[in-house]
Structure formats: structure tokens, C-alpha cells
């Protein structure tokens, strides 16, 4: 895969302008262009990882940072008390549509309980 053509890589490098809500040396977070909740933010690593299946032990700090950033953004957006959802889709049956590891932070309304 050519990372330079991936939409997420272009957002990280600011070749595509979007509303970045957080960025550091490991991760970038921005508003989803097709939000599924009033608050729908994508959190992505600044390095290319195709799917959750492709993570390695050296990615532990990066994955922890993604979760920490999700928590910080939830507090900033004032959804930490009411609740929010963090989702990582993996591969076709997991509904992954962009094959670049990313986490969805969803909040601002009651979610649907899909677990019985």
C-alpha cells in the first residue's frame, strides 16, 4: 500500500485539511466526515498499521496513547460523565472500510446496546 495516497496519511501530513482536535508525535484525532453520533472522532496512529491484526508488541505505547487520547477528548467534549463508546473495526466482517488502523470515539447521545 502506498501510504502517501491513504486519506489518513494525508490528514496526518496536513495535505488534506480537516478539523484536527488532537495531534502529537504518535497519534492524530479529527472529526469523522460522516458522523454516526453528535460526537464522532477518529483517532489514528501516525504510522501505518493496516488492521488490528497487524499490531506488534512494539506498538504497545502507541495503542495506549490512542486510548489515553480518547479519554482526554471525552473529558474535553464533556461526555466523560454521560458515557461514550470506543470502537475499532477489523477487516470486512468487522465493518472496517479504510484499511488503516483507527479508533472511533462516539458520544453525545445514548448508544444502541448491540451486546446481549
Could you list the active site residues? 102
User: What's the CA angle centered on 42, arms 38 and 44, to 5 degrees?
Assistant: 170
- In 84-93, which positions are buried (b, 16+ CB within 10 angstroms) versus exposed (e)? bbeeebeeee
Rounded alpha-carbon distances, angstroms, from residue 54 to 26, 51, 89, 91, 108: 17, 5, 13, 11, 31
Amino acid at each position: 500500500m502506498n501510504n502517501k495516497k491513504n486519506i489518513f496519511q494525508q490528514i496526518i501530513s496536513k495535505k488534506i485539511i480537516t478539523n484536527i482536535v488532537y495531534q502529537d508525535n504518535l497519534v492524530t484525532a479529527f472529526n469523522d466526515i460522516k458522523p454516526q453520533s453528535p460526537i464522532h472522532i477518529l483517532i489514528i496512529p501516525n504510522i501505518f498499521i493496516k488492521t488490528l491484526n497487524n499490531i506488534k508488541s512494539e506498538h504497545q505505547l502507541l495503542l495506549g496513547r490512542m486510548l489515553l487520547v480518547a479519554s482526554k477528548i471525552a473529558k474535553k467534549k464533556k461526555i466523560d460523565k454521560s458515557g461514550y463508546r470506543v470502537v475499532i473495526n477489523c477487516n470486512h466482517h468487522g465493518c472496517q472500510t479504510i484499511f488503516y488502523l483507527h479508533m472511533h470515539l462516539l458520544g453525545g447521545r445514548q448508544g444502541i446496546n448491540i451486546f446481549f
